């Protein structure tokens, strides 16, 4: 049996899950077809991914396909306790509650591995690290795994490069129907949702500084501009910086941007993006938040060190009064603002991400034993299937190439 915060919240959590189901037509369609085929029959799946209403739909889909499931969250502040209670009530082995200590966080992951998984599902690769480290005895039973997020894929690639990754892992993050939608439109909306819930500030007329112009940064800049903000981008990658400039954003080093910003959002996956010197040069009232997976981008410890005093001023919003008298507001302790201060990405976009998760698990169950240890891409066919199902659910028809057009594309002898 698992461990959650409060079993009495199960009925509320169940309603949230039903709401998410009504917004996730692709995953629900796959649930229908794959549960009939019992695609994952007899397999044990350990998962480590934010416990939200959307994740609950995925977990129950995996179970409906015949698998036994054990689950934990992948961030100490992102678990929705009512959803965890609903999953627990439906018999899922779940170890998750909001506000975990670092020790409890890893304890929860370890409990999910005790089922002896055949498949692992990660968001940030903490489960993969745990099974390759402290709980290596479970490695021989693993057929394969999946990874949901950008930084997790970076890390397992690093493991694979050193020959340390002992089973095949599919980089779900890198599917086009994942990263071009979830990372862009999902984070674009949910990060701003988190900032607004924690502050209720007006974006119009503000200087919003977005650190990082990858998929996630692009989404946040797009939606901030849509709300009437003046957007400044900071980057280390010259191509991304150029992209941002050509989209019409101001590009500056963080040392300069720090003096101008009203609202800061980090989206780099790298540590020490906003440090003490930046906090000290910010304007009075600046709001600082992070949309990257780990809470390493904003140096919250430095804020504690350089502040005269600090207090919680609203939910997920801490006021730091610096020695120069300026007040800086740090949201959600520098943790993922979209999941800690809001509900994560909307169901409609998680629909595609989790369809990719399910299809990747299905592929591993069939082909995993013959796949080499290392990082594997999702297929073009899978992207096409997910996109087609999504378009169908939206009632959108598209054109089809004629045979002549197909021949034309393939004919290298055709000139001008
Ligand atoms: N990551 C971002 N948003 C999420 C959500 N709603 N559920 C699970 N993982 C997420």
Whether residue 282 lies inside any domain: the answer is: yes
Contacts of 207 (CB under 8 A, 6+ apart): 229, 230, 231, 232, 260, 261, 262, 263
pLDDT of residue 44: 98
Say what the pTM is. 0.96
pLDDT of residue 399: 98
Whether residue 257 lies inside any domain: the answer is: yes
Q: Which atom of ligand 1 is nearest to the CA of 54?
A: 7
State whether 125 and 248 are in the same domain.
no
State whether 193 and 297 are in the same domain.
yes
Whether residue 128 lies inside any domain: the answer is: yes
State whether 276 and 358 are in the same domain.
no
pLDDT of residue 149: 95
CATH number for position 369: 3.40.50.1480
State whether 258 and 361 are in the same domain.
no
pLDDT digits (tens, 9 = 90+) for 13-41: 999 999 999 999 999 999 999 999 999 99
pLDDT digits (tens, 9 = 90+) for 365-375: 999 999 999 99
Average pLDDT over residues 407-414: 90
Average pLDDT over residues 188-195: 98
Count up the domains in the chain and report the number.
Answer: 2
Domain boundary among 302, 323, 340: 340
State whether 361 and 310 are in the same domain.
no
Whether the CB of 122 sits within 6 Å of ligand 1: no
Domain with 244, as residue range(s), is 186-340
Residue 167 Cα to ligand 1 middle (Å): 25
pLDDT of residue 1: 80
Whether the CB of 50 sits within 6 Å of ligand 1: yes
pLDDT digits (tens, 9 = 90+) for 255-296: 999 999 999 999 999 999 999 999 999 999 999 999 999 999
Whether the CB of 344 sits within 6 Å of ligand 1: yes
Average pLDDT over residues 234-254: 98
State whether 159 and 22 are in the same domain.
yes
Whether residue 380 lies inside any domain: the answer is: yes
Whether the CB of 16 sits within 6 Å of ligand 1: no
Whether residue 406 lies inside any domain: the answer is: no
State whether 52 and 18 are in the same domain.
yes
Whether residue 401 lies inside any domain: the answer is: no
pLDDT at 130 over 90: yes
Whether the CB of 189 sits within 6 Å of ligand 1: no
Whether residue 281 lies inside any domain: the answer is: yes
pLDDT at 413 over 90: no
Residue 255 Cα to ligand 1 middle (Å): 32
State whether 165 and 21 are in the same domain.
yes
State whether 281 and 326 are in the same domain.
yes
pLDDT of residue 415: 77
State whether 165 and 257 are in the same domain.
no
What mean pLDDT value characterizes the chain? 97
Average pLDDT over residues 130-139: 98
pLDDT of residue 383: 98
pLDDT at 414 over 90: no
pLDDT at 71 over 90: yes
CATH number for position 235: 3.40.50.720
Residue 54 Cα to ligand 1 middle (Å): 7
- Residue identifier of the C-alpha nearest atom 9 of ligand 1: 50
Residue 277 Cα to ligand 1 middle (Å): 32
Whether the CB of 347 sits within 6 Å of ligand 1: no
In b/e form, how buried is each residue of 182-221, taking b as 16+ CB within 10 angstroms? bbbbbbbbbbbbbbebbbeeebeebbbbbbbbbbbbbbbb
Average pLDDT over residues 123-142: 98
State whether 239 and 384 are in the same domain.
no
- Bridge partners of 329, per DSSP, are 287, 319
Whether residue 351 lies inside any domain: the answer is: yes
State whether 230 and 362 are in the same domain.
no
Are 144 and 165 spatial neighbours (Cβ–Cβ below 8 Å)?
no
Whether the CB of 149 sits within 6 Å of ligand 1: no
Count of positions (residues) in the chain:
416
Q: How confident is the model at residue 302 (pLDDT cuts 50, 70, 90)?
A: very high
Rounded Cα distance between 219 and 188, Å, is 4
Average pLDDT over residues 190-200: 98
Average pLDDT over residues 118-122: 98
pLDDT of residue 141: 98
Q: Which sign does the torsion angle of CA 224, 225, 229, 235 carry?
A: positive
């Amino acid at each position: 049996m698992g461990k959650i915060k409060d079993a009495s919240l199960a009925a509320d959590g169940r309603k949230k899950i039903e709401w998410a189901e009504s917004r996730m037509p692709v995953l629900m369609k796959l649930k229908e077809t794959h549960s009939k085929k019992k695609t994952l029959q007899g397999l044990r799946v350990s998962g480590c991914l934010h416990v939200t209403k959307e994740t609950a739909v995925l977990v129950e889909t995996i179970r409906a396909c015949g698998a036994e499931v054990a689950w934990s969250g992948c961030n100490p502040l992102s678990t929705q306790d009512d959803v965890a209670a609903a999953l627990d009530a439906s018999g899922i082995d779940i170890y998750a509650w909001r506000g975990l200590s670092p020790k409890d966080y890893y304890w929860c992951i370890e409990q999910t591995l005790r089922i002896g998984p055949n498949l692992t599902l990660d968001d940030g690769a903490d489960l993969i690290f745990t099974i390759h480290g402290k709980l290596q005895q479970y490695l021989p039973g693993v057929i394969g795994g999946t990874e949901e997020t950008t930084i997790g894929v970076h890390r397992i690639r690093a493991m694979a490069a050193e020959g340390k990754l002992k089973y095949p892992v599919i980089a779900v993050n890198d599917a086009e129907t994942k990263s071009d939608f979830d990372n862009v439109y999902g984070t674009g909306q949910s990060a701003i949702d988190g900032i607004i819930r924690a502050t209720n500030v007006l974006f119009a007329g503000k200087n919003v500084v977005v650190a990082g112009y990858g998929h996630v940064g692009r989404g946040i800049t797009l939606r901030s501009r849509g709300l009437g903000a003046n957007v400044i981008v900071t980057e280390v990658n010259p191509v991304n910086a150029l992209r941002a400039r050509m989209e019409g954003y101001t590009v500056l080093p963080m040392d300069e941007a720090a003096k101008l910003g009203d609202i800061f959002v980090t989206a780099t996956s790298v540590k020490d993006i906003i440090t003490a010197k930046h906090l000290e040069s910010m304007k009075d009232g600046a709001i600082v938040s992070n949309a990257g997976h780990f809470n390493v981008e904003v140096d919250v410890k430095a804020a504690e060190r350089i502040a005269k005093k600090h207090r919680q001023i609203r939910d997920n919003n801490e006021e730091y009064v610096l020695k120069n008298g300026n007040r800086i507001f740090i949201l959600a302790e520098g943790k993922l603002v979209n999941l800690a201060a809001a509900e994560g990405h909307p169901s409609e976009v998680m629909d595609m991400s989790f369809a990719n998760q399910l299809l990747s698990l299905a592929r591993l169950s069939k082909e995993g034993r013959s796949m080499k240890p290392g990082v594997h891409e999702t297929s073009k066919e899978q992207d096409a299937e997910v996109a087609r199902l999504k378009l169908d659910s939206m009632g959108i028809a598209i054109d089809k190439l004629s045979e002549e057009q197909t021949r034309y594309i393939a004919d290298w002898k055709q000139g001008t």
